[in-house]
């Protein structure tokens, strides 16, 4: 079932419920009002007959014993004249004395329970609804009492046909049912029409997205509606998602191409060395030794590249770092001692050495600093200098590596931390660089809630810095340590 159909059914269902509650409320309100009017008419007629009764409804008669008593006269009821009401006078034993002419010969006996009323029931009376000759009537019965001694001399029954009440309620029922049905049909049709128009932009977005998927062209975008509403925000979000996916897929394709290119060179070199050995190189000791040395160098390069790729993959998978206190000044001295073995004519020196301790993964911070140092040594000519520094800058610890090398062009600075990016491969003093070192530096800094920066002037040198916050709560320790992986990458 389509969303449009579900929306139409749900809205019509709620409208039906509301209409049903409203109709029931109107029906029972009108019904109560009509019956209240009937009871008001019966009570007014009862009061009128009582006044007639008090004026001349009793007749004094002397008993055989000579006692003078008052007896009920039935003729007074004829004075009451109302075509919509029927009045009847009964003796205390329930015998009918007289009734108004509009009764039409129908028999409306007084119920046995009504004969049990006393003088105290004059105000409350006795009510009943009954059906006589397919006609419903409501009756109100009260005792007739002599005012002096509260003697019950008879009963008065006022009855009213409910034909007009039933007719009115029937007409009201048909109006509510018929009008409700028409309203529901109009509501359902209107809801379907409005839902179709409201969902039309969503259908357009869906068709456009399907076209993008089928064409496998993430460069396309969904047309943004001019109205500033939820659909416009949805469209903008979808376009942002498509741009993000396009960027990710482009980066993935470039990553695969770069990895393939970087792996092809050492593998081709190893294959050439194997062919040399296969063609008789093993018979010549010098050739065999040189070939094996080249293969070891290419193998070490492959190992470093694979370890760097694994480290970046773990960073992308948000593998949490170990969290432990790290003395950055001690780490700086340790890196300085290891880099001295790689200087080859470059002056390596220490700058500022503040004593700072942060919480983080010592092995990864060391690898990041080593990558910066090795990178600086590679791009600095003999006689130049590389300076390692540690300074406290506000709420951050700044590990920096400055060199007097050839520098980086301003156009290349925004891409310097991208994977496999090398501004100029001819700058490297050692072959085999894969362009992953600075990407690892940036990932390590971000994993420690910090960031990496670079400043450079062509021909004068560059300064790389790792900024680490001092007041970051330690991250939970992950059981999967990457120390061995980092050490293998530095071997």
Tokens (6 digits) for 220: 């396309």
Q: Please give the Cα distance from 256 to 289 (Å, whole number).
A: 34
Q: Which residue has the tokens 């060395």?
A: 273
Q: Which long-range contacts (CB under 8 A, 24 or more apart) does 230-236 make?
A: 231/201, 231/202, 231/205, 234/202, 234/205, 235/201, 235/205
Q: Which helix (H) or strand (E) holds 392?
A: strand 385-393
The pLDDT of residue 276 is: 82
Do 480 and 311 touch, CB atoms closer than 8 A?
Answer: no
pTM of this structure: 0.50
DSSP code for 284: S
DSSP code for 282: G
Reply yes or no on domain 3-168 having CATH 3.40.50: no
For 320-490, CATH number out of 3.60.21.70, 3.30.565.10, 2.30.40.10, 3.40.640.10 equals 3.30.565.10
Question: Domain ranges in the chain?
Answer: 3-168, 218-318, 320-490
pLDDT along the chain (491 residues), means of 10: 83 92 94 93 89 70 48 66 85 85 80 89 89 87 81 87 92 93 92 83 79 73 77 83 80 69 72 81 80 81 70 59 85 90 88 90 86 87 92 92 88 77 49 64 86 90 92 46 32 31
Do 387 and 351 touch, CB atoms closer than 8 A?
Answer: yes
Closest CA to 8 of 196, 173, 211: 196
Q: Which residue has the tokens 């970051």?
A: 472
Q: Which helix (H) or strand (E) holds 52?
A: helix 3-56
Angle at alpha carbon of residue 255, lines to 250 and 256, rounded to 5°: 105
Q: Which residue has the tokens 């770069």?
A: 258
Q: Please give the Cα distance from 208 to 221 (Å, whole number).
A: 8
Same fold, 3-168 and 218-318: no
Provide the H-helix boundaries in 279-378: 285-316, 328-339, 362-378
Q: Please give the Cα distance from 376 to 400 (Å, whole number).
A: 11
The pLDDT of residue 332 is: 92
Q: Please give the Cα distance from 358 to 473 (Å, whole number).
A: 10
Tokens (6 digits) for 266: 């050492």
The pLDDT of residue 312 is: 63
Reply yes or no on domain 218-318 having CATH 1.10.287.130: yes
Angle at alpha carbon of residue 324, lines to 323 and 325, rounded to 5°: 135
Please, which residues have CB within 8 angstroms of residue 361's CB and are 6 or more apart in sequence? 321, 322, 323, 324, 326, 444, 447, 448, 482
Reduced to 3 states, what is the DSSP secondary structure of residue 316? helix
């Amino acid at each position: 079932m389509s969303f449009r159909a579900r929306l139409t059914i749900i809205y019509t269902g709620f409208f039906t419920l509301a209409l049903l509650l409203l109709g029931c409320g109107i029906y029972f309100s009108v019904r109560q009002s009509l019956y209240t009017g009937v009871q008001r008419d019966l009570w007014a007629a009862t009061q009128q007959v009582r006044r007639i009764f008090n004026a001349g409804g009793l007749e004094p008669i002397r008993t055989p014993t000579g006692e003078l008593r008052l007896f009920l006269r039935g003729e007074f009821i004829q004075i009451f004249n109302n075509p919509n009401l029927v009045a009847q006078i009964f003796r205390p034993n329930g015998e009918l004395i007289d009734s108004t002419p509009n009764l039409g010969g129908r028999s409306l006996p007084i119920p046995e329970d009504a004969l049990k009323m006393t003088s105290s029931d004059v105000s409350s009376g006795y009510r009943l609804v009954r059906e006589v000759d397919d006609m419903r009537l409501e009756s109100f019965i009260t005792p007739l009492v002599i005012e002096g001694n509260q003697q019950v001399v008879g009963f008065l029954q006022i009855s009213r046909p409910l034909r007009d009440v039933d007719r009115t309620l029937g007409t009201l029922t048909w109006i509510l049912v018929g009008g409700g049905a028409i309203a529901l049909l109009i509501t359902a049709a209107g809801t379907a029409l409005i839902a179709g128009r409201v969902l039309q932009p969503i259908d357009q977005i869906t068709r456009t997205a399907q076209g993008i998927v089928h064409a496998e062209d993430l460069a396309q975008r969904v047309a943004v509606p001019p109205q500033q509403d939820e659909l416009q925000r949805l469209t903008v979000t979808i376009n942002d998602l498509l741009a993000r996916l396009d960027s990710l897929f482009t980066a993935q394709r470039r990553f695969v191409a770069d990895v393939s290119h970087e792996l092809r060179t050492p593998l081709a070199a190893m294959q050439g060395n194997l062919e040399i050995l296969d063609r008789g190189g093993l018979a010549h000791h010098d050739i065999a030794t040189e070939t094996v040395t080249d293969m070891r160098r290419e193998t070490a390069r492959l190992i470093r590249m694979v370890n760097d790729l694994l480290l970046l993959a773990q960073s992308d998978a948000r593998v949490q770092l170990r969290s432990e206190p790290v003395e950055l000044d001690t780490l700086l001295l340790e890196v300085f001692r290891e880099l001295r073995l790689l200087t080859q004519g470059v002056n390596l020196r220490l700058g500022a050495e503040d004593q700072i301790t942060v919480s983080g993964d010592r092995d990864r911070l060391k690898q990041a600093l080593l990558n910066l140092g090795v990178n600086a040594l590679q791009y600095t000519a003999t006689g130049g200098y590389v300076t390692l520094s540690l300074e406290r800058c506000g709420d951050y610890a700044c590990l920096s590596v400055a060199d007097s090398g050839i520098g980086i062009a301003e156009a290349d600075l925004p891409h310097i931390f991208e994977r496999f990016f090398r501004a100029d491969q001819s700058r490297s003093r050692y072959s085999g660089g894969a362009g992953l070192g600075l990407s690892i530096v940036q990932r390590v800094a971000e994993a420690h809630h910090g960031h990496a920066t670079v400043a450079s002037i062509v021909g004068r040198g560059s300064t790389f810095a790792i900024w680490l916050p001092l007041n970051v709560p330690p991250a939970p320790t992950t059981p999967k340590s990457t120390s061995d992986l980092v050490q293998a990458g530095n071997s």
